[in-house]
Chain A
Amino acid sequence: MEFSPENPLSAEPEIETSHAEEFVEQLRCVTDTLPSRINIDAQSVEQGLAKLVLTLIEFIRRLLEKQAVRRMEGGDLSPEQIEELGLALMKLEGKLQELKTQFGLTDEDLNLDLGPIGRLI
């Protein structure tokens, strides 16, 4: 693309793909994940704190899940134990989902950057 007075940078950006429908489907998530009212004033202490707390809970929840799966595979849990553990984790996941919705947070929001350790999730 040559930039000239007839084709300045302030013209609309070009978009180029050979798979438009696929990308439309993927990018729709941008709008689908917006709840009907969005609080963008993240100065609100409530949401800032909720984000921090929920991120850490989410991290630990995933650790617990992985640990549970490992133990299940290791064969040292009885069927009843597996069932109870699974139910508890299922409830935790559900509860967290509720809280996320309540505070208008997405999975993306709950992904802290830990620097050298990398991203949380």
Chain B
Amino acid sequence: MSSTFDQIIVGEEWEDSDLSLLETLDHVLNRGIVITGEITISVADIDLVFVGLNVLISSVETAHEVLRKRQPE
């Protein structure tokens, strides 16, 4: 598969008070076969992933540090 970005440019002119257009957009933009294929991983056990993703831990470190310091000993 190509790795180039296919981009949709949002048109400037919107007649967005048209309910039928909005309903149509809701169907054609958000649904249908996604051929370029998203590969996402759904996780059954959140703990596994938490341990495995260091980037996750470091990103929440600030808030987590604050909370940990507050733990009554």
Question: Which residues from 58 to 72 on chain B have a C-beta closer than 8 Å to any C-beta of chain A?
Answer: 59-60, 62-64, 66-67, 70, 72
Contact-residue bracket for chain A: 35 or more
**Chain B residue nearest to A57 in the complex (CB):** B59
Instruction: Let me know if B4 and A41 touch, CB within 8 A.
Output: yes
Main secondary structure of the interface of A (DSSP, over half): helix
Residues of B close to A9: CB separation below 8 A: none
Q: Please give, as numbers and ranges, the residues of chain B lying within 8 Å of A12 by CB-CB distance.
A: 20
Interface readout for B36-47 with A: 1 if CB under 8 Å, 0 if not? Answer: 111111111010
List A3-62 residues whose CB lies under 8 Å from chain B.
Answer: 12-13, 15, 17, 20, 23-24, 27-28, 30-31, 34-44, 48, 51-53, 56-57, 59-61
Q: Which residue of B lies closest to A86 (CB)?
A: B66
User: Is B33 positioned at the interface, with any CB of A under 8 Å from its CB?
Assistant: no
Interchain CB contact under 8 A, A56 and B50: yes
Residues of A within 8 A of B62 (CB): 88, 91-92
Q: Does A102 contact B (CB under 8 A)?
A: no
Taking a contact as CB atoms under 8 Å apart, the answer to whether A37 and B9 are in contact is: yes
Q: A23-B19, A24-B17 are in contact. Are A61 and B60 (CB under 8 A)?
A: yes
Q: Which residues of B contact A (CB under 8 A)?
A: 1-10, 14, 16-20, 22-23, 25-26, 29-30, 34, 36-44, 46, 49-50, 53, 55-56, 59-60, 62-64, 66-67, 70, 72
